Amino acid sequence: MTLLVIRAANRRGMLHEITGVIKDHASIEWVFVSIPSESERVIAMRLSDSLPINAIERLRGINGVHDVWASHEAPMELVGFDREILRSILIHMVQSGGELHSFLNKLGYEMGVSMASTMLRTKYIIPAITDPARIFETAVEMLVVMNLARSAEDVKLNNEKGGYVASLSLTEPFDLDAGLPFTRGYILGLTKVLLKCDCSIDAVISKSRVNFYVKK
């Protein structure tokens, strides 16, 4: 199995062109599409097999394709989980007296570490995409692709006063009512890999919208 993540322009026919390249080499088991802006979309696919180098090059050559990641080691367990199932799990854990907060925080952290590590690596003879800001933006958008948040906006990773400062806004993260342990952990896992440090995170909640601020 392979997880393929593509960041591309939001134009008609884009998905058809992408799947046209893939179908000659692998079966597509599922597809999730998130549209972070009017001009861009993030496409995640699980494939039955790996893609050869020439297929990756063809994907990169499609007009409007910005970034392509493909990995056999991707964190795929939660991709596509139903939001209501996740909430039911939370309720069950609360009722059973489980250590909900620490469990979800650790789960999110490991997921974030794995996602960022996957996007930093490449198994192909194509230059790796190593821009931390670009990887951070796409990895955060994967929360929407995985149905763990309704939308993601204003995702930024900047070098400010000698250290990176990250900020983002999520609408309806699935663990909002539980104190955001998974989401906090996921973001800190991303920054652990991308910034190579243990960061701090603050969350400002306004109804269903949460603004996160991360810094060294």
Which pLDDT value is given to residue 93?
64
| pLDDT tens per residue across span 129-175 | 567 888 899 899 889 888 889 899 999 987 666 556 899 999 999 88
CB-facing half-sphere around the CA of 35: CA atoms within 13 A? 9
Contact by Cβ (8 Å): 108, 183: yes
| pLDDT tens per residue across span 75-130 | 544 445 556 666 666 666 666 655 767 878 888 898 898 888 877 765 444 445 56
Choose from 44-53, 137-146, 166-175, 191-200 the range with maximum mean pLDDT: 166-175
Question: DSSP 3-state helix, strand, coil percentages of the chain (rounded to 5)?
Answer: 40, 30, 30
Number of domains within the chain:
2
Which pLDDT value is given to residue 124?
45
Q: Are residues 19 and 126 in the same domain?
A: no
Q: Which CATH number does the domain housing residue 45 bear?
A: 3.30.70.260
Beta strands 151-160 and 40-47 are unpaired
Q: Which CATH number does the domain housing residue 211 bear?
A: 3.30.1380.20
pTM: 0.72
Q: Are residues 36 and 130 in the same domain?
A: no
Beta strands 2-9 and 40-47 are antiparallel
Structure token digits, residue 124? 């192909």
Which pLDDT value is given to residue 75?
52
Contact by Cβ (8 Å): 89, 163: no
Rounded to whole angstroms, the Cα distance separating 108 from 106 reads: 5
Contact by Cβ (8 Å): 186, 170: no
